[in-house]
Structure 1
């Protein structure tokens, strides 16, 4: 069987599984040897003391005379009040002293009956040890020692004896491993999520950090970076193509206007030549706006920077206010603050400027611009008191080359690209834009942009 490599996610899960299994196996092997309730050998210093005690008892029995049980009774009652108890049996396991039923002793005798290898075992709070040889006349007695176990049970014994504590202990041991596994899984996942959010905001940047971590996420990160690079090249190529086409169209258009001017000079003014010149002028204006749009959008995602609302729009608002005054109109705007905004400055300035200049152009005498920060977004409303836009056409004014069928038509001189440029710029910055009827009577355009944290 081929084992998974630890650099993969499955490999890490496999490693944790085997580590847990090894801990369980080692526990099953070692715990019985550490459990005092199982039979163990007696530590050497304690074994030596008990054997010396058994020899002293044998010496006293040799010096004293009288019934054996009476003499043994004196030894069995000597240290009982101190938490010790001596037991004496024959080599056949018959209890000589003390008399009475003793389940722990009888059980221990069946497992430890050779003085050549004394053992000890814990029964509740009573530790039994033995047997120890006590020579007596031509025979040998066996001595067992019982003492009260004053030490608290080992920690793992208390854990194993109580299921709830065992569950809590298991959770305590496994939690660090599970947290490490969760961290190892979610860290590259969070990186991938953050990269996807950046792409959604129009930031087509390759992130080398995505190609680190478990093998599965490393492969996904590499594919994601390839996708971002392909999108970047495709968008840039499309925008450059638009720019190149616009440039190429300007040359024949310039020659057409020159030819029209020469014709007017030779033949004089005529309605036909005037119409050709007017349409050529409009076409040139349209191409100029297309060039402006392409210049702003080519690699715009690579020209993002952190700025603030005051730096972005204050000068533009002051210029627009002056322009409105020259037209006999009033432009009012709420004070700007240093609200943080991340994006392409030229696109953001142009987007709001197009809306405001439309309001100045089509409003009667009042234009109002309102900035409203709320939580993590900034809302901007631009209103005028002009004729407005018919309700069915409110959603269409952001389409390229669309003109409203009433006042805002070809006779007004517009190309229908201004609001389309604004809509594209706002969407590139993860914002929204929509039009509605203004309380002032004209058009109200509402823009929302995310604020940078």
Structure 2
């Protein structure tokens, strides 16, 4: 004869079998949407009260940190989908000058507030890539460049050695030697015991690898120099 108490316990145990990773992903998604609304509100405030907020370091910091958190959440969702093998690239043709100008326009309010000049150099070229995935990569990279630049950042697009190369440069101190990198990053290379895990670089590298043509796949490169003399981030797409 079955013990009713044992049946009840088994039912309760089954009810508590929660997929915590799914709960976290759902929560991160909601947080990302809320931060997106906050960023829109900050842009509107700056537009309405530009003379007040453009020179405010606290307001600029608030907008920068909110953008950084939003980018982090986008990357976390992407990495979750990558781990679940549900992240893929939907390749379409895009006109590079328009694509880069749209991204710079998104950061225009903060650029104005920080007094940073934005340069865009892209030839009359098109490229084949997933615009949504590249948006996540560029937004994070541009935001990082804003943090370290002195007065200028530069976005570039060109065809080089059979690859489409998108670059983000700044006129800051450049990447430390330990961060300069060429190729792809693995998840095992991340160090969660330090203040900087390079999670954004892993996401960018993963996005690059999702872009393939035959035996060729994308990659990222970090080095110093460029026209502005600071850090240079490049994503190479076949």
Question: What residue is the counterpart of 2:225 in the other structure?
Answer: 438
User: What per-residue deviation string (whole Å, max 9, x for no partner) do you get for residues 37-83 of structure 1?
Assistant: xxxxxxxxxxxxxxxxxxxxxxxxxxxxxxxxxxxxxxxxxxxxxxx
Question: What residue is the counterpart of 2:136 in the other structure?
Answer: 350
Question: What residue is the counterpart of 2:22 in the other structure?
Answer: 244
Within the alignment, does 1:364 sit opposite 2:150 as a pair? yes
Whole-Å separation in 1 of the counterparts to 2:77 and 2:173: 31
Whole-Å separation in 2 of the counterparts to 1:395 and 1:370: 19
What TM-score do the two structures reach when normalised by structure 2? 0.56
Are the equivalent residues in 1 in contact too, given 2:100–2:120 (CA < 8 A)?
Answer: no
2:119 pairs with one of 294, 317, 332: 332
Whole-Å separation in 2 of the counterparts to 1:381 and 1:369: 6
Give the superposition deviation at 1:436: 0.8
Question: What residue is the counterpart of 2:65 in the other structure?
Answer: none
For 1:441, what is the secondary structure of its paired residue? coil
2:203 pairs with one of 415, 421, 443: 421
Cα distance change of structure 1 residues 432 and 385 upon mapping to structure 2, 3 Å threshold: same
For 1:351, what is the secondary structure of its paired residue? helix
Unmatched segments (≥5 aa) in structure 2:
1-18, 29-67, 212-216
| Mapping 1:196-211, distance limit 5 Å | none
Are the equivalent residues in 2 in contact too, given 1:316–1:353 (CA < 8 A)?
Answer: yes
User: What per-residue deviation string (whole Å, max 9, x for no partner) do you get for residues 244-291 of structure 1?
Assistant: 2633887xxxxxxxxxxxxxxxxxxxxxxxxxxxxxxx9999666422
Question: What residue is the counterpart of 1:319 in the other structure?
Answer: 106
For 2:107, what is the secondary structure of its paired residue? helix
Give the superposition deviation at 1:365: 1.3
Are the equivalent residues in 2 in contact too, given 1:246–1:291 (CA < 8 A)?
Answer: no
Unmatched segments (≥5 aa) in structure 1:
1-240, 251-281, 404-408
Q: How many residues align?
A: 170
Give the superposition deviation at 1:426: 0.9
| Mapping 1:255-294, distance limit 5 Å | 289-294=75-80
Give the superposition deviation at 1:345: 2.2
Whole-Å separation in 1 of the counterparts to 2:166 and 2:114: 23
Whole-Å separation in 2 of the counterparts to 1:317 and 1:242: 37
Are the equivalent residues in 2 in contact too, given 1:371–1:380 (CA < 8 A)?
Answer: yes
Whole-Å separation in 2 of the counterparts to 1:356 and 1:388: 14
Are the equivalent residues in 2 in contact too, given 1:312–1:348 (CA < 8 A)?
Answer: no
Give the superposition deviation at 1:313: 3.8
Are the equivalent residues in 1 in contact too, given 2:220–2:234 (CA < 8 A)?
Answer: yes
Whole-Å separation in 2 of the counterparts to 1:376 and 1:324: 33
Give the superposition deviation at 1:415: 6.2
For 1:334, what is the secondary structure of its paired residue? strand
For 2:173, what is the secondary structure of its paired residue? coil
Within the alignment, does 1:386 sit opposite 2:172 as a pair? yes
Are the equivalent residues in 2 in contact too, given 1:300–1:344 (CA < 8 A)?
Answer: no
Cα distance change of structure 1 residues 379 and 289 upon mapping to structure 2, 3 Å threshold: closer
Cα distance change of structure 1 residues 296 and 324 upon mapping to structure 2, 3 Å threshold: farther
Cα distance change of structure 1 residues 291 and 306 upon mapping to structure 2, 3 Å threshold: closer
Are the equivalent residues in 1 in contact too, given 2:133–2:207 (CA < 8 A)?
Answer: yes
Whole-Å separation in 1 of the counterparts to 2:208 and 2:134: 7
Whole-Å separation in 1 of the counterparts to 2:147 and 2:79: 21
Are the equivalent residues in 1 in contact too, given 2:158–2:165 (CA < 8 A)?
Answer: yes
Whole-Å separation in 2 of the counterparts to 1:320 and 1:283: 15
Are the equivalent residues in 1 in contact too, given 2:180–2:222 (CA < 8 A)?
Answer: yes
Whole-Å separation in 2 of the counterparts to 1:284 and 1:339: 28
Question: What residue is the counterpart of 1:184 in the other structure?
Answer: none
Whole-Å separation in 2 of the counterparts to 1:284 and 1:325: 20
